[in-house]
Amino acid sequence: MAYLVMFHWGWLLGALLLGFAMGWIAVVHRGPGVSRTQAGWLGLLAAALLAAALTHLVPGRPGYWVELALLMLGPYVAGCAIGSLLRAWVVRRSVATRTS
Amino acid sequence: MDGFFKWSSKWWPGVIPLIVLWAFAAWTSTAPLEADLADRSAAALQGAVLDKTTIAVAGRDVTLGAEAFSEAARSAAVRAVDAVSGVRLVNDETRLVAEARPFVWSAERDVVRVTLAGSAPLPASKAKLTEAARGALGGVEVSDQMKLARGAPAHFDEAAVLLLGQIAKLKDGKFTISDSSVSLSGMARELGDREAIAAALKKLPEDFKIAANDLKAPPYVLQVNKDPVASTLTLSGNVPDESVHAAITAAAAGKFFSEKVVDNLKTSIGAPGGFAAAVVPALGALSRLSTGTLVVSDREVKLSGDALYDGAALQIRSGLGKDFPQNWQFKADVSVKPAVAPVDATVCQQLFSELLGKASIRFEAGKADLDPDSTGLLDRLVEIALRCPASDIEVVGHTDGDGDDESNHAMSEKRAQAVVDYLVNAGLPAARFTATGFGAAQPLVPSDSEQGKAQNRRIEFKVM
């Protein structure tokens, strides 16, 4: 794991920034979101991939690619969370400034 | 918290560029990652003793193929690769090197190269043996056809290196180790090398034994060449010891009165029995030839050259082998020198005097029997007598002043007669010769010293 992070830090940083941008947008985005059912399925998919990676179920290169996907998903989600929280905080502050 | 869930439901559009990013990452990083893992796996196996090591990386999975020399080394190698950071799993395709039963190794020498074949226990011993062969034979090609196998006896390297140390003493042949039995075949390079190899093999590690030693020694050769143009007698080859050496050079000096003896003999062990007893009479036969070569090889004596007249050729062909010790063989390839142009009586007399000025006919001490060492000289006298067939010849005997006149006279006459008998035996007509004895009546020099006496004891030829 540490080896993979060291080896791919550039790509992971990219995923983090991408997530941050997406999280930043998501707070003010008016489009449709995923339903809870869909979210559940997506979670299940992620869990299945994680399980496959941990059990070394997929061999060779595809196995590595699954690990890489999961590895990039982590910083993306973290980036999204940070981006959304930060944007929400900024929005709350500006609303508070305007109302006062 | 509800807000957070609402926002997170809208994070999905970013997954599309994330997939693109992942695809790029996978596209560009797979090959460098695999190369890096392969390098570091190879580095982890640096100290391991393995053969035919192959490392194939797919993603983070390493397929390790290798032949190990022990189970411990095999599992240690797999563990070492497994411990490389970044390696996800190791596909173990290692196995143990095949075991050789019996464990056979050989070093074979021919004219141009040394071939190392059979089994070696470890790559390091393979390299060590190849190096030892190169070291023992500077400049000779060493062909390494050894395969690696388990099952070598203890101290194998030590035994094989010892054998390779002896390979320079081999002309051609093979050293073989089969389990702990050593066998040797072929021919030693020099005389004495076979014995030197046998002595060196006593230092083999204890558990090794010599199963067969079929090494042959090279032929024991002595060659003598008589060259009438350069007037030399060249002795070359081997003699068993200094006393035989001295006996042979003394015989050569006694039998060859006009040739300079060039002594290139060297002392070597391994002479066949009765060496001197065969060489000395063979030298006598050579002394009777005008030009010729004597080759003694082991127990075979070959004489070739030109005799001075027909009778001499016949005597040499039929007579010499009888003088030899048992089990010796004699091969004569003796032809007769073409007859020389006849000369008149004066020239004939001159030729006799010149020849007898160089050497004297010798007899057994106190007897009238011809010394065999004088046969070569007598043959030359026969040759001269053949050149003046019309002349009669008086053979005159003289003695030194020791003893009484009567016995000296009788002795001188008997000795002159012995010479005449030799000439007649050689095929000359008896009617041409008369034997006369003067005892001590006509000394050349005063008989007051040993040297003077020796000069006065003589046979003279007078052409009439």
Candidates A35, A67, A80; nearest CB to B11: A80
Per-residue pLDDT at B324: 80
Whether residue B459 is found in the same domain as residue B351: yes
Q: Is residue B5 part of a domain?
A: no
Whether residue B331 is found in the same domain as residue B235: yes
DSSP structural state of residue B1: -
Tell whether B3 lies on the interface with A, counting CB pairs under 8 A: yes
Residue B147 vs residues B129, B135, B150: alpha-carbon distances, Å? 12, 21, 10
Q: Quote the number of domains for chain B.
A: 4
CA distance B71 to chain A (A): 27
For the residues B65-86, what does the mean pLDDT come to?
Answer: 91
B412-442: pLDDT as tens digits = 999 999 999 999 998 899 999 999 998 888 8
Give yes or no for a contact between A68 and B28, defined as CB atoms under 8 angstroms apart.
no
> Among residues B159, B194, B216, which one ends one of the domains?
B216
The DSSP line for B85-99 is TT--EEEE--EEPPB
- The CA R_g of chain B, rounded to the nearest whole Å, is 43
> How far, rounded to the nearest angstrom, does the alpha carbon of residue A88 sit from its chain's CA centroid?
17
Q: A88 vs B7: CB contact, 8 Å cut-off?
A: yes
pLDDT bracket for residue B1 (50, 70, 90): low
Whether residue B226 is found in the same domain as residue B319: yes
Per-residue pLDDT at B5: 75
B148-192: pLDDT as tens digits = 998 889 899 999 999 999 998 989 999 999 999 999 999 998 888
pLDDT bracket for residue B10 (50, 70, 90): confident
Q: Is residue B171 part of a domain?
A: yes
Q: B17 vs A18: CB contact, 8 Å cut-off?
A: yes
Per-residue pLDDT at A69: 93
Bridge-based pairing state of the strands B458-463 and B393-398: antiparallel
For the residues A37-66, what does the mean pLDDT come to?
Answer: 91
Whether residue B144 is found in the same domain as residue B201: yes
Tell whether B60 lies on the interface with A, counting CB pairs under 8 A: yes
Q: A15 vs B18: CB contact, 8 Å cut-off?
A: yes
Per-residue pLDDT at B302: 93
Per-residue pLDDT at B360: 87
Residue type, A46: A
On chain A, the residues whose CB falls within 8 A of the CB of B17 are: 18
Tell whether A72 lies on the interface with B, counting CB pairs under 8 A: yes
Tell whether A30 lies on the interface with B, counting CB pairs under 8 A: no
On chain A, the residues whose CB falls within 8 A of the CB of B18 are: 15, 18-19, 72-73, 76
B294-341: pLDDT as tens digits = 999 988 999 999 999 988 898 888 877 677 888 888 888 999 988 888
Whether residue B432 is found in the same domain as residue B393: yes
Q: A88 vs B21: CB contact, 8 Å cut-off?
A: no
CA distance B168 to chain A (A): 55
Per-residue pLDDT at B2: 65
Residue of B nearest to A77 (CA): B11
Whether residue B388 is found in the same domain as residue B439: yes
B330 DSSP β-pair partners: B301
Tell whether B27 lies on the interface with A, counting CB pairs under 8 A: no
Per-residue pLDDT at B254: 87
Q: Is residue B2 part of a domain?
A: no
Tell whether B7 lies on the interface with A, counting CB pairs under 8 A: yes
Most B-contacting residue of A8, A41, A64 (CB-CB within 10 A), to test interface: A64
Residue A47 vs residues A43, A57, A66, B47: alpha-carbon distances, Å? 6, 14, 12, 42
What the block records as the tokens of B204 is: 């083999």
% of chain B with per-residue pLDDT over 90: 47
pLDDT surpassing 90 at residue B27:
yes
pLDDT surpassing 80 at residue B79:
yes
- Signed CA dihedral, B451, B456, B460, B462: sign only: positive
DSSP structural state of residue B70: S
Q: Is residue B4 part of a domain?
A: no
Whether residue B228 is found in the same domain as residue B319: yes
B243-275: pLDDT as tens digits = 999 999 999 988 988 889 999 999 888 888 888
B332-389: pLDDT as tens digits = 899 998 888 888 889 999 999 998 888 888 888 788 888 888 898 999 999 999 998 8
The three-state secondary structure class of B156 is helix
For the residues A69-83, what does the mean pLDDT come to?
Answer: 92
Whether residue B456 is found in the same domain as residue B379: yes
B91-146: pLDDT as tens digits = 999 999 888 889 999 999 988 899 999 999 988 899 999 999 998 887 889 999 99
Average pLDDT across chain B, whole number:
89
Query: Tell me, what CATH number does B360's domain have?
Result: 3.30.1330.60
Residue of B nearest to A38 (CA): B9
Give the range of the structural domain holding residue B269, as residue numbers without chain letter: 221-336
On chain A, the residues whose CB falls within 8 A of the CB of B14 are: 18-19, 21-22, 76, 80
DSSP structural state of residue B202: G
Query: Tell me, what CATH number does B187's domain have?
Result: 3.40.1520.20
pLDDT bracket for residue A100 (50, 70, 90): low
Residue B17 vs residues A74, B9, B14, B353: alpha-carbon distances, Å? 15, 17, 6, 128
B458 DSSP β-pair partners: B398
On chain A, the residues whose CB falls within 8 A of the CB of B57 are: none
Whether residue B163 is found in the same domain as residue B190: yes
Q: A64 vs B60: CB contact, 8 Å cut-off?
A: yes
